[in-house]
Amino acid sequence: MGLCEHQPGTAGAGGGREGQQGLEEQVLKPGLCTGCGACVNICPYQASYRDKTVTLHSCDLSRGRCYDFCPQTPVDREALRRQLAEGAEVTPELGAAAGFFITRATDAGIRRRAQHGGTVTALIALALREGLIDAAVLAAAGEGLLPRGITVRDPEEAAGCAKSRFVVSPTLAEFNRAVRTDCRQIGVVATPCQALSLAKMRTQPVTAADSGIEKLRLVVGLFCGWALSWRELAALVKGKTVLSGVSGMDIPPSRYHTLELYTAAGTIPVSLDEVTPCVRPACRSCGDMTAEFSDLSVGSARLPEGWQEARGWNQVIVRNRRGGELLALARLRGVLEFREVPEGNWDRLKAASLAKKRAAGGVSG
């Protein structure tokens, strides 16, 4: 018997297909798991192992949070978008859009440690300092390029988690753990699948009862083209350099067709022809490039000066009031620098996002 709660009156309605059995059949077995961690730490039956989600015990509940919170199980995305947008314009390409900005952290120390302009770290640090959140669930560097979810309490710890890890982080497993602690107001940095899962938790109050979701106060989404499968990435990197010697990586704009590996000896460019086979299968059917279900979303910038300048800045989409207020506070406190958005950036971002939706086979974000 499972330990999960189920929605009253729905037991048996899904014939076991909206509980763990459904998760197994529709997500885990077909290889569609994103590894986000949403089904982990809500009952003892699912666990994260490396970048995989594994089932430790079978559960016979016909409905469960593991299924309801999974970003890969059915959901009315349009309704969810409108609900979270709080009246902001909802564009078909990019979801809710209450504002579009180019920013970077004012603090050069944050920028040096960050992936791009350090906007994400600066915003999380600000939210912690101002008491908008008392904990942030982030992805920290783990062993051999495997990230791990971590809960941090102070801005310096948040800065220690800066930079992008291109293997999925079980961030939501850590979120599910953190809500059971004395954390009261939690912020999460999330990839698009993780932001979708959090949105499902936020908007399903019945199954989410006692899940601690009311502690979620902020979702900073990351733009995401795809994540890489750990085993395949590790094998690829081992063919180029020592795994432990890679301090970071990045994917410049598509015309470079390259993934860059950063090592003490310099940057190693790897052709995307070699990288593409390492893309996590679940990511191939994801049509959300900009974390549409977050409060605000952050990605790398595109500037007329070219990539060397642009990589030190971020593009930011404000989705709702919560995201807008945080960005306004960042401006007021001077923790972010703003520069004018180059003409055409919004339309180019829309086109790139639409291309991802199309490549995902018509799956609407």
Which residues are at the interface with ligand FAD (CB under 6 A)? 114-121, 138-139, 147, 161-166, 168-169, 171, 189, 191, 222-225, 227, 298-300, 314
> Shortest approach of ligand FAD to residue 187 CB, angstroms?
10
**Which CB atom, from 6 or from 165, has the smaller least distance to ligand FAD?**
165
DSSP letter for each residue of 21-65:
HHHIIIIITTT------TTSSSSTTEEEETTEEEE-S----SB-H
**Which CB atom, from 84 or from 189, has the smaller least distance to ligand FAD?**
189
**Which CB atom, from 82 or from 360, has the smaller least distance to ligand FAD?**
360
Q: Which residues contact 287 (CB under 8 A, 6 or more apart)?
A: 356, 357, 358, 359, 360, 362, 363, 364, 365
> Shortest approach of ligand FAD to residue 312 CB, angstroms?
9
**Which CB atom, from 121 or from 207, has the smaller least distance to ligand FAD?**
121
Half-sphere exposure of 133 (CA within 13 A, CB side): 30
210-214 own/partner pairs: CB under 8 Å, 24+ apart: 210/5, 211/42, 211/65, 211/176, 211/179, 212/176, 212/179, 212/180, 213/179
> Shortest approach of ligand FAD to residue 215 CB, angstroms?
18
**Which CB atom, from 77 or from 165, has the smaller least distance to ligand FAD?**
165
**Contact in structure between 363 and 357 (CB atoms under 8 Å):** yes
**Which CB atom, from 117 or from 287, has the smaller least distance to ligand FAD?**
117
> Shortest approach of ligand FAD to residue 1 CB, angstroms?
34
> Shortest approach of ligand FAD to residue 249 CB, angstroms?
9
> Shortest approach of ligand FAD to residue 79 CB, angstroms?
25
**Contact in structure between 326 and 218 (CB atoms under 8 Å):** yes
**Which CB atom, from 210 or from 347, has the smaller least distance to ligand FAD?**
347
User: What's the rounded Cα separation, in Å, for the pair 31 and 70?
Assistant: 13
Q: For residue 47, how far is the Cα from the chain centroid?
A: 19
Tell me which residue has tokens 């593409």: 276
> Shortest approach of ligand FAD to residue 252 CB, angstroms?
10
User: What's the rounded Cα separation, in Å, for the pair 253 and 306?
Assistant: 10
113-146 b/e (C-beta count within 10 Å ≥ 16 → b): bbbbbbbbbbbbbbbbeeebbbbbbbbbbbeebb
Specify the DSSP element, H or E, that contains 284.
Answer: none
Q: How many CB atoms lie within 10 A of CB 43?
A: 20
**Which CB atom, from 62 or from 176, has the smaller least distance to ligand FAD?**
176
> Shortest approach of ligand FAD to residue 267 CB, angstroms?
16
